Amino acid sequence: MAAGIGTAMQAGSPRTKGDEVKLMFQLFDLDHDGVVTKDEMKRVLQSLDKDIWTDAKVEKVLGAYDSNGDENLQFTEFWGWVCGHGGKSTEDFKPALLSRAIEEDRERRAVLQAKLDKENELRQAREAKESAKAQKLQERADGRRWNREEFVQQQMQIGISREVANEMFNKGDEDRDGDIDHQEKIWLAQECVATTKQIRGLYQNVASAGNVDVKGNLDLKGMDDSGMDAVVQAFLSWDKDGNGTITPEELAQVLKTLNPTMGIATVEALCQEIDVNKDGSIDIQEFVGWLSGEHLKKKKMKKKAKEEQDARLALSLHRKRVSEAAELKLQAEFEEMQHRKLEEFCARKKLAVGCGTLNRDKNTCKACGSKHGWLCHGCGFVSFYDECVHGCPDRKYGWSCISGKCEKKKCGCKKKPEFWAKINVHGLDRLSLGVRQMIEADKAAAGDDVAAETPGKPAASSDNPEVVPE
């Protein structure tokens, strides 16, 4: 009965006598058990008028209409009372009772509606959250959403440092949900890397640590080794195939990673801006010149300044190749390649080779028992001093002995360390190649037979054992 009463009533004022009775019955039946007890009658009636509805009067009414004698009013018994069956008037209490019932019903329905609205709100929020989560998962699967580490790794693959990539992520994650979606990446790109000038500034920022002059050029001379390493890393990251040059296709791939909306016109403009000799590709010197603004100057860089810059580039490139060789487990082959290159270097510099032994794990030569002129495989530079001119640690890298002692007054040891700090057996073109490409190119140049044999002693230059002063 109670369930039927509760579900049949519609919102608003009662329309029929039956609706009225049901509302009043619900007012009394507080515990919704389908009957009105004596206590429930007292609670309601005495709240209307305690003086009129005494306990005795309530009991009298209950006794008059409790036809089955259970001391409760069933719904039909309640109906008979409030409708005045038996000819008794109800005007003295029914209007007030109905008004109270309507008021409480509206309050009850308002509470119920608020509860339903809250439940719907929570359900919609859950559904929206689940939908957003599913959408994010799909976007990530489609390569259109990245978390912080994914975004940072993506930027590092094109030469952006971790610090700068994190700054980019912080700026791009506008909704602060811990991800950068495709649209946020486009907004970030349009703000930060939409022009060739912005792209140049971004990579200057990666390498500069503040070393950018008022004209917007990177100050390579004032840059420390870590800054030069960042420049080199950026170049190598652009050179995807490791052949030592950046093609327009490789440049386009980099720019698309930076800015998904980058058009071919910007790619062509940047390529033309960097490719000074117009050979259709970008080499390491052109890349560095672009960042430093050197190739934009009317006058060419002075010879000494260029030598110093090239030497620093070679040192940074060599450090990268040594690290790469170790990662690829090619350190022995890499050092053997350098040992073979020593012969060409000595011939080119007209330097007498009195020993020519490849050494590992020893501070003195296993052949001549000394260490005078030698090639450090850690940096690729020559030294005529006990320690490497670039501070490479002993016994970490192999070395090739040129000569165990000073032969003549004009031996290389008479030159200052600063001179030898500019002399690398590899040119920038060769160091721009990946380690595997370097080794393969060396073997190809030497011929299959030479490549297969154990490296031997480089040939001495018999006609002139001295270093020609430069």
Task: Answer yes or no: is 320 within a domain.
Answer: no
Same domain, 357 and 227: no
Cross-strand bridge partners of residue 72: 37
Beta 72-73 vs 399-403: how paired, if at all?
Answer: unpaired
User: What phi and psi, each to the nearest 5 degrees, are found at residue 389?
Assistant: -65, -20
Q: What is the pLDDT at residue 451?
A: 40
User: What phi and psi, each to the nearest 5 degrees, are found at residue 218?
Assistant: -80, 130
Same domain, 297 and 333: no
Same domain, 152 and 278: yes
Please count the structural domains in the chain: 3
Q: Give the tokens for residue 182.
A: 């495709």
Task: Answer yes or no: is 113 within a domain.
Answer: no
Domain of 181, CATH number, reads 1.10.238.10
Among 106, 139, 171, where does a domain finish? Answer: 106
Task: Answer yes or no: is 85 within a domain.
Answer: yes
Same domain, 49 and 167: no
Task: Answer yes or no: is 114 within a domain.
Answer: no
Same domain, 201 and 282: yes
Q: What is the pLDDT at residue 296?
A: 65
Identify which of 3, 1, 288 has the alpha carbon closest to the alpha carbon of residue 159.
Answer: 288
The answer to whether 284 and 235 are in contact (CB under 8 A) is: yes
Dump pLDDT digits (tens) for 374-392: 999 999 999 998 889 999 9
Can you give the residue range of the structural domain that contains 63? Answer: 2-106
Q: What is the pLDDT at residue 29?
A: 94
Beta 72-73 vs 145-147: how paired, if at all?
Answer: unpaired
Same domain, 56 and 155: no
Sign, CA dihedral 7-13-17-22, equals positive
Task: Answer yes or no: is 32 within a domain.
Answer: yes
Q: Give the tokens for residue 288.
A: 């560095």
Task: Answer yes or no: is 459 within a domain.
Answer: no
Q: What is the pLDDT at residue 319?
A: 94
Same domain, 297 and 181: yes
Q: What is the pLDDT at residue 210?
A: 54
Long-range contacts of 374-379 (CB under 8 A, 24+ apart): 374/399, 374/400, 374/401, 374/402, 375/338, 375/339, 375/342, 375/345, 375/399, 375/400, 375/402, 375/425, 377/322, 377/334, 377/335, 377/338, 377/339, 378/322, 379/315, 379/318, 379/319, 379/322, 379/424
Task: Answer yes or no: is 19 within a domain.
Answer: yes
Dump pLDDT digits (tens) for 407-424: 776 678 888 888 888 889
CA 85/CA 366 separation, integer angstroms: 127
Q: What is the pLDDT at residue 454?
A: 43
Same domain, 287 and 176: yes
Q: Which positions of the chain have pLDDT values less than 50?
A: 1-11, 448-470
Same domain, 99 and 182: no
In whole angstroms, what separates CA 117 from the centre of its chain?
A: 40
Q: What is the pLDDT at residue 458?
A: 44
CA 349/CA 355 separation, integer angstroms: 16
Residue 255 CB contacts under 8 Å (≥ 6 apart), including other chains? 199, 262, 266, 267, 270
Q: What is the pLDDT at residue 221?
A: 83
Same domain, 297 and 339: no
Same domain, 166 and 42: no
Task: Answer yes or no: is 129 within a domain.
Answer: no
The answer to whether 354 and 407 are in contact (CB under 8 A) is: yes
The answer to whether 169 and 152 are in contact (CB under 8 A) is: yes
Q: What is the pLDDT at residue 102?
A: 93
Same domain, 249 and 168: yes
What DSSP line would sit under 345-407, residue for residue?
Answer: HHHHHT---S--EEE-S-SS-TTTS--SEEEETTTSBEESSSS-TT-PPTTTS-EEEEESS--
Count of residues in the chain: 470
Quote the pTM value.
0.70
Q: How far apart are the first and last CA of the chain?
A: 114
